Structure 1
Amino acid sequence: MGNSFKSAQFLMEARMSRAAYGSAEDCLDLGVAYSCGTGDLPIDLVEAHKWFNLAALRGSEEGQSMRAEIAEEMTARQIAEAQRQARALIASHQARAA
């Protein structure tokens, strides 16, 4: 059981790293994982919205759809926080690239 958890954790960390640097598919996968609680992640709608938003910004139509769907279950404050986190992630990676 411990190895299963460590494997899932490693896969999620690797996916986050790839997603943060531009993969729409990995962003979408993280959004799904956070919205459903897969891979031993807690369900976190703010994180899910953030990753769906990043997928959408990278051209994923499915990311756009999932972002809109999950937003129906969120408060305006939660959506604003998810958007803030997405902007911060983008800005931090742009600063590193400069």
Structure 2
Amino acid sequence: MARMEMSAIPASLAIPMEASADAYYELGLMHASGRSGPVDLVAAQTWFNVAFAKGCARAAAHRTELALEMSRDEVAEALREARRFLTRH
């Protein structure tokens, strides 16, 4: 499974600071379904965490569902990446 550092996102693909929680939720869906390339559950979980923190209640169900398919280390990595993103944006 491909891993992606949140800081490795090209500036042209970065979401504006005023982006809605739904925009982050959509990013999670893209990574979970493979619409953005190979399926990346860590990135999907990261974006669902960000979306939930920003107020998107729908993201909670997807976070829970994905966590069942992920190792503890992967879930922890997604949480770290989400925290890192949220503290910078």
**Bin for the TM-score computed over the shorter chain:** 0.7 to 0.9
Distance 1:24 1:34 in 2: 16
Correspondence 1:44 to 2:40: yes
Aligned identity (percent) is: 35
Partner secondary structure for residue 70 of structure 1 = helix
Flag the structure with larger Rg: 1
Runs of 4+ aligned structure 1 residues displaced above 4 Å come to none
- Structure number with the higher helix fraction is 1
Conserved? CA contact 1:22–1:58, under 8 Å: no
TM-score by length of 2: 0.79
What are structure 1's unaligned runs of at least 5 residues?
1-11, 94-98
Paired residue total: 78
What are structure 2's unaligned runs of at least 5 residues?
1-11
Cα RMSD, aligned residues only: 1.7
Partner of 1:53: 49
